[in-house]
Chains A and B, each alone.
Chain A
Amino acid sequence: MIYSLVGYYSLIIGLIIGLFLFYFSYKNFNNSNILNTKILSFSFLQLFFVVISFLCLIFSFIVSDFSNETVFNNSHTTKPLFYKISGTWGNHEGSLLLWLLVLTLFIFLFLVRTKNQPVKYKILTLVFQQIIIVGFFLFLILTSNPFNYIFPIPTEGLGLNPILQDPALAIHPPILYLGYVGSSIIFSSVLAATSLKIISTNWAIHIKKWILISWIFLTLGILIGSIWAYYELGWGGFWFWDPVENVSLMPWLALTTLLHCILVLEKKSILTSWVIILSIATFTLSMCGTFLVRSGILNSVHTFANDPERGLFILVFLFILIFLSILIFFFFHKDNDKKSFSFFWLSKETSILINNWFMMYFLSVVLIGTVYPIFLDVITSQKISVGPPFYHKLIIPFLIPFLLVMAIGPNLKWIKSQLEDKIYLISFLIISILLAFLVLKNFNQNILINTILISSALYLFFITLRDFFVNKYKNISQNIAHFGFSLLILSILFNNLFASEIITNLKVGEIFENSKTKIVFESVDQKKEQNYNAIIANFSISNPNGEEDRLSPELRIYNQPVIATSEADIKTTLMSDKFIVINLVQNQDFFNVRYQVKPFMLWIWLSVILISFGGIISFIKKRS
Chain B
Amino acid sequence: MKFLRFFLIFILSFYFSNANAEENDKRNKITKNLRCLICQGQSVYDSDSEFANSLKIVVDKKLEEGLSEDQIYEYFKIKYGEWILYDPSLNKNTYILWLLPILIFLIGGAIIYKSFIVKK
Contact = CB atoms under 8 A, between A and B. Distances in A.
Interface of A: 233-237, 240, 242-243, 299-303, 341-345, 349-350, 353-354, 357, 360-361, 364-365, 368-369, 372, 376, 380, 382-390, 393-394, 396-398, 400-401, 444-446, 448-449, 452, 501, 566, 583, 585-586, 592, 594
A361 B101 contact: yes
A240 B41 contact: yes
Given A360-B104, A387-B86, A452 B6 contact: yes
Given A299-B41, A368-B101, A384-B88, A401 B3 contact: yes
A381 to B, nearest CB: 11
A237 B112 contact: no
Instruction: Tell me what chain A mostly uses at the interface: helix, strand, loop, or mixed.
Output: mixed
B71 interface: no
A300 B35 CA distance: 12
Interface of B: 3, 6-7, 9-11, 13-14, 16-18, 20-21, 25, 28, 32-33, 35, 40-43, 45-48, 50, 53, 81-88, 93-94, 96-98, 100-102, 104-105, 108-109, 112, 116-120
Contact of A344 (B46, B53, B120): B120
Contacts, number: 149
A448 B20 contact: no
Contacts of B104: 360-361, 364
A383 B40 contact: no
B99 to A, nearest CB: 10
Contacts of B53: 585, 592
B117 to A, nearest CB: 5
A225 to B, nearest CB: 14
Contacts of A583: 48
B85 A385 contact: yes
Nearest to A583: B48
A401 B117 CA distance: 18
B77 to A, nearest CB: 10
Given A449-B10, A452-B9, A452-B10, A349 B116 contact: yes
Contacts of A236: 46
Contacts of B109: 357
A233 B11 CA distance: 33
B101 A365 contact: yes
27 contacts: A233-B42, A235-B42, A235-B43, A299-B40, A299-B41, A301-B40, A302-B41, A345-B118, A350-B117, A361-B104, A368-B101, A376-B97, A383-B82, A384-B93, A385-B86, A387-B35, A393-B87, A394-B98, A401-B3, A444-B21, A445-B18, A448-B9, A448-B10, A448-B16, A452-B6, A566-B48, A592-B53
Given A384-B82, A386-B86, A301 B41 contact: yes
Contacts of B87: 387, 389-390, 393
A487 B92 CA distance: 39
A369 B87 CA distance: 11
A352 B104 CA distance: 18
Contact of A382 (B6, B82, B119): B82
A592 B50 CA distance: 12
A124 to B, nearest CB: 30
A372 B21 CA distance: 33
A583 B42 CA distance: 16
Given A235-B43, A301-B40, A364-B105, 12 more contacts: A240-B41, A301-B41, A303-B40, A345-B117, A357-B108, A360-B104, A361-B108, A364-B104, A380-B93, A387-B87, A445-B17, A586-B50
B1 to A, nearest CB: 12
Most A CB contacts (10 A, CB to CB) among B93, B100, B102, B116 go to: B116
B86 to A, nearest CB: 3
Nearest first, the 5 closest Cβ-Cβ pairs linking A and B are: A387-B86, A235-B46, A389-B87, A383-B83, A342-B118
Contacts of A299: 40-41
B40 A388 contact: no
Contact of A397 (B6, B40, B41, B46): B6
Contacts of B17: 445-446, 448-449
Contacts of A398: 105
Nearest to B105: A361
Most B CB contacts (10 A, CB to CB) among A302, A350, A376, A384 go to: A384
Contacts of A364: 100-101, 104-105
A448 B96 CA distance: 29
Contacts of A396: 10
A592 B112 CA distance: 54
A594 B108 CA distance: 45
A365 B102 CA distance: 9
B13 A448 contact: yes
B112 A353 contact: yes
Contacts of B6: 397, 400-401, 452
Given A303-B40, A345-B119, A385 B47 contact: no
A368 B88 contact: no
A501 B28 CA distance: 10
A300 B40 contact: yes
A383 B82 CA distance: 7
A383 B118 contact: no
A452 B10 CA distance: 9
A350 B116 contact: yes
B23 to A, nearest CB: 14
B93 A389 contact: no
A235 B47 contact: yes
A97 B114 CA distance: 47
A374 to B, nearest CB: 12
A361 B17 CA distance: 26
Nearest to B88: A384
Contact of B42 (A301, A350, A365, A390): A301
Contacts of B10: 396-397, 400, 448-449, 452
A385 B35 contact: yes
A360 B103 CA distance: 12
B13 A446 contact: yes
Contacts of A388: 32, 86
A301 B50 CA distance: 18
